[in-house]
Structure 1
Amino acid sequence: MSFKIAIIGAGSVGFTKKLFTDILCVPEFKGIEFALTDLSEHNLQMIKAILDKIVEANKLPTKVTATTDRRKALEGARYVISCVRVGGLEAYADDIRIPLKYGIDQCVGDTICAGGILYGQRNIPVILDFCKDIREVAAPGAKFLNYANPMAMNTWAAIEYGKVDTVGLCHGVQHGAEQIAEVLGAKSQGELDYICSGINHQTWFVDLRLNGRTIGKDELIAAFEAHPIYSQQEKLRIDVLKRFGVYSTESNGHLSEYLPWYRKRPDEITRWIDMSDWIHGETGGYLRHSTETRNWFETEFPQFLASAEKPIDPAKRSNEHASHILEALETGRVYRGHFNVKNTGVITNLPSDAIIESPGFVDRFGINMVSGITIPEACAATCISSINVQRMSVHAAISGDIDLLKLAVLHDPLVGAVSTPEEVWQMVDEMVVAQARWLPQYAHAVSAAKERLANSKVKTREWEGAARRHVRSIEELRVEKAALKQAV
C-alpha cells in the first residue's frame, strides 16, 4: 500500500515514535510515507533522526519527511494525526500555577477544571487552522485523528466548526481494563470483555465479563481492595466505585479533578491521593512528569537514538488505537475499540451534541459506533456537568467572549467547589493576560483585563499546593532509574 500520514506536533518524540512503530507493525504499511511537522525545528530533527534509524535498521522502504511548513506536510495526506500542546510547558505551567493562587489544586489540568479550559482556549483556534489545511490540501475525505487534550473540546471544535471527518483517541479505557484484568486474576487481557461508555476521562465500565461470567460491583470492589498496590494508589477510584457501582477509566489523579468532592480542601486531597507516582493525585503531577521527561530526552538523546536500531517487534505493538484503526480502514480487518465522536444517539442519556467515548467497530466501511447504550444515572449526571462546561468552553473559544469563558470556568465542578465568583472572574483575567500570545481570539479583551487586575481587591495566596514535588534533576533521575533497574 502507498499513502501518506501527516503527524502534527511530531516533536512529541516518545509518542510519535510509538505511533510510527505501531503503524509499521502492519505488513501492508511498509511502503507508506510519514510527513512530520512541528513548530520546533530542533524537535523535528531529533524525531526524524530516530525514525530514520528505525527505517534503516529494519531495511524498510518507508519514507519519512520533516518540515515546519504544516501545509506542505498535509499535502495529499490520507490521515492526519494531531498530538500538539499549544503553548508548550510554559503555558501549561500557568494552567497549574495561577489556579493555585485561588485555591484550585489540579493534578493534571488538561481536560476541564481551570487549566483544561484555558488549554482548550489555546488549542481550538489552532485546531481550526489544522482543519482548514486538511480541507484545502489533504487528500479528499482525509480522516483527522486527534490525540491532543482537552480531547472532547478539540474534537467538538473539529467536527462542529472545522467540518473535518474527526475521531478523538485516548488510552484511558485500555489502561483501566488492564487494571481490572489484573485484580480479577485474568491470565490474559483477552479473557476480559467489557463495555465502557461515557465521555473522555469520565468513561465507565458498565458491563464486565470474565470468560463470559458477569462481574458484579461487590466482586470488583473486593478484588481492588485486596490488591496490594491498587488498594493504595486508587483509593479515590475505589470510593467512586463503591458509591456509583461502576469503575471509572481514569487514574486516581485525573478523576479527582473532574469531581467536586475530593480536592476541595488540602486535608481532603492528601487523604485520597497517593504519592508513589504523579498520576495518583500529586499537585501539578503531570507538569512535573512532562518537564522531567523533556529534560531527560534532551540529555539522553544518544541513548534514544541507539535504541532505535532494534528490530520492530509486532508482538510489542501497543494498544494505542491509531494503528489498529488505520489497519481496519485499509485492509478490512475488523477492530473493536473505544472512540470519541459526536453522540447523536450513541448514549441515550447524554446530550446529542456532546463528544462521547464509547465502543465502536472499524472496517473498510469506516467507524461504526454501537448505539443505544444507557449509562447509570450518577455517571450521566457527572458527565453532563462536564459536558455543559465543555460546550461553553468551545463556544467561548470560537467567539472570543471572555464573559462566556468566565461562566464556563465558574460552572466547572471543582472550581465551583473551591472558588467564589469574584475569584473566578479575577483568575480568568489573570490567565488570559498571562497567556495572551496563545489566545488571539481574546486580544480585544486583554487591556480591560489588565485594568481590572490592577484595581482588584480579591486576595490570593502563594501556595505550592497540598502535595507538590520538585522537578528532579537529570542526576536524580539517573540515580532513581539505576535503583529501579537494580531492584528488578
Structure 2
Amino acid sequence: MSFKIAIIGAGSVGFTKKLFTDILCVPEFKDIEFALTDVSEHNLQMIKAILDRIVEANKLPTRVTATTNRRKALEGARYIISCVRVGGLEAYADDIRIPLKYGIDQCVGDTICAGGILYGQRNIPVILDFCKDIGEVAETNAKFLNYANPMAMNTWAAIEYGKVDTVGLCHGVQHGAEQIAEVLGAKSTGELDYVCSGINHQTWFIDLRLNGRKIGKDELVAAFEAHPVYSRQEKLRIDVLKRFGVYSTESNGHLSEYLPWYRKRPEEITRWIDMSDWIHGETGGYLRYSTETRNWFETEYPQFLEAASKPIDASRRSNEHASHILEALETNRVYRGHFNVKNNGVITNLPRDAIIESPGFVDRFGINMVSGITLPEACAATCIASINVQRMSVHAAISGDIDLLKLAVLHDPLVGAVSTPEEVWQMVDEMVVAQAAWLPQYAHAVPAARERLSKSQVKTREWAGAARRSVRSIEELRAEKAALKQAG
C-alpha cells in the first residue's frame, strides 16, 4: 500500500514518534509517506531526525518529509492527524495563572473550565484553516483524526463548520480499563469486556464484565478501596463511583475540573487530591509536567536520537487508536474502539448535536457506531452541563462574540461554583487581552476589554493555588530518574 499521512503539530515529539512507530507496526504500511508540519522549524527538524533514524535502523522504504508549509504537507494526504497546541506553553500558562486570580484552581485546564474554554477559542480558528486546506488539497474524502484538546470543541468545529470527515481520538477509555482490570485481579485487559460511553473526558463504564461475569458497583468500589495505590490516588474518582454507580474514565485531577463540588474551596481541594503525581489533582499539574518534559527533551535530545536506532517491536504497539483505525480502513481487519463523533442519536439521552465518545467498529466502510446507548441519569446530567458549555464556546469561537464567550465561561460548572458574574466578566476580558495574539476573531473586542480592565473595581488576588509545585530543574529530574532506576 502507498498513501500519505500528514501530521499537523508534529513538533509534539514524543507523541509523533509513538504514532509513527505504531503505524509502521502494520506490515502493509511500510511504503507510505509521512508529511510532518509544525510552526516550529526547530522541533520539526528534531522529530524528522528521530523518524529518519527509525526508518534507517529498520531498513524501511518509508518516506518522511518535513515542512512549515502546512498546505504543502496536506497535498494528496489520505489521513491527517492533528496534535497541535495553539499558543504553546506561553498561552497555556495564562489559562492557569489568570483564573487563579479569581479563585479557580485547575489541574489541567484543557477541556472545559476557564482554561479549556479559552484553549478552544485559540484552537478553533486554526482547526477551520486545517479543514479549508484539507478540502482543497488533500485526497478526496480524506479523514481528519483529531488528537488535540479540547477534544469535543475541536471535533465539533471541524465537523459542523469545517465540513471535513473527522473523528476525535483519546486514550482515557483505555487507561481507565487498565485500572479496572488491575483492581479486579485480571491478568490483562483482554479479560475485561466493557461498554464505555459519554463525552470526552466524561466517559462512563456503564457495563463491565470480567471473563463474562458482570461486575457491579459494590464489587468495583471494594476493589478500588482495597488497592494500595488507587485508593490513595483516586479518592475523588472513587467517591463519584460510589454516588453515580459507575466509574469514570478520567483521572482524579481531570475529573475534578468538570464537576462543581470538589475544587470549589482550597481545603476541599487538598482533601480530594493526591500529590504523588501531577495527574491526581495538583494545581497546574499538567502545565508543570509539560514544561519539564519540554526542557528534558531539549537537554537530553541525543539520548532520544540514539534510542531511535532500535528495531520496531510490533508487540509493543500502543493502544492509541490511530494506527488501528488506519489498519481497519485499509485492510478490513475490524477494530473496536471508542471514538469522538457527532451524536445523532447514538446516545439516546444526550443532545443530537453533541460530540460524544462511545464504542464503534471500523472496517473498510468506515467508523460504525453502536447506537441506542442510554446513560445513567446522573452521568447524562453531568455530560449535558458540559455539552451546553461546549456548544456556546464553539459558537463564540466561530462568531467572535465576546459576550457569548463570557456566558459560556459563566455556565461552566466549576467556574459557577467559585466565581461571581462580575468576576467572570473581568476574567474573560483579562484572558482575551493576554491571549490576543492567538485570538484573531476577538481583535475587534480587545480595545474595549482593555478599557474595561483599566476601570474595573473587581478585586483579584495573586494566588498560586491550593496545591502548586514549582517546575523542577534538569538536575532535579536527573536525580529523580536515577533514584527510581536504583529503586526499581
TM value normalised by structure 1: 1.00
Residue 452 of structure 1 is matched in structure 2 by 452
Runs of 4+ in 1 over 3 A off after TM superposition: none
Q: Deviations over 1:274-322 (max 9, x none)?
A: 0000000000000000000000000000000000000000000000000
Q: Deviations over 1:366-423 (max 9, x none)?
A: 0000000000000000000000000000000000000000000000000000000000
Q: Report the count of equivalent residues.
A: 488
| Percent identity (aligned) | 92
CA distance in 2, matches of 1:192, 1:307: 33
CA distance in 2, matches of 1:189, 1:150: 27
1:441 Cα deviation (Å)? Answer: 0.2
CA distance in 2, matches of 1:461, 1:273: 23
Residue 48 of structure 1 is matched in structure 2 by 48
Residue 58 of structure 1 is matched in structure 2 by 58
1:191 Cα deviation (Å)? Answer: 0.3
SS in 1 for 2:247: coil
1:243 Cα deviation (Å)? Answer: 0.1
CA distance in 2, matches of 1:278, 1:29: 37
Residue 134 of structure 1 is matched in structure 2 by 134
SS in 1 for 2:286: helix
CA distance in 1, matches of 2:481, 2:466: 26
SS in 1 for 2:261: coil
CA distance in 2, matches of 1:39, 1:75: 17
CA distance in 2, matches of 1:37, 1:159: 22
1:188 Cα deviation (Å)? Answer: 1.4
Q: Deviations over 1:47-86 (max 9, x none)?
A: 0000000000000000000000000000000000000000
Q: Deviations over 1:305-343 (max 9, x none)?
A: 000000000000000000000000000000000000000
SS in 2 for 1:333: coil
CA distance in 2, matches of 1:345, 1:434: 39
CA distance in 2, matches of 1:354, 1:131: 19
SS in 2 for 1:337: strand
Residue 348 of structure 2 is matched in structure 1 by 348
Q: Deviations over 1:243-277 (max 9, x none)?
A: 00000000000000000000000000000000000
1:189 Cα deviation (Å)? Answer: 1.1
CA distance in 1, matches of 2:345, 2:330: 27
CA distance in 1, matches of 2:187, 2:145: 32
SS in 2 for 1:257: helix
1:147 Cα deviation (Å)? Answer: 0.1
1:231 Cα deviation (Å)? Answer: 0.1
CA distance in 1, matches of 2:300, 2:15: 16
CA distance in 2, matches of 1:107, 1:119: 14
CA distance in 1, matches of 2:336, 2:375: 19
Q: Deviations over 1:327-366 (max 9, x none)?
A: 0000000000000000001000000000000000000110
Residue 93 of structure 2 is matched in structure 1 by 93
CA distance in 2, matches of 1:138, 1:300: 36
1:12 Cα deviation (Å)? Answer: 0.1
Residue 37 of structure 1 is matched in structure 2 by 37
User: Any unmatched runs of 5+ in structure 2?
Assistant: none
CA distance in 1, matches of 2:444, 2:236: 42
CA distance in 2, matches of 1:68, 1:100: 35
Q: Compute the RMSD of aligned alpha carbons.
A: 0.2
CA distance in 2, matches of 1:395, 1:234: 34
CA distance in 2, matches of 1:312, 1:318: 12
CA distance in 1, matches of 2:375, 2:481: 42
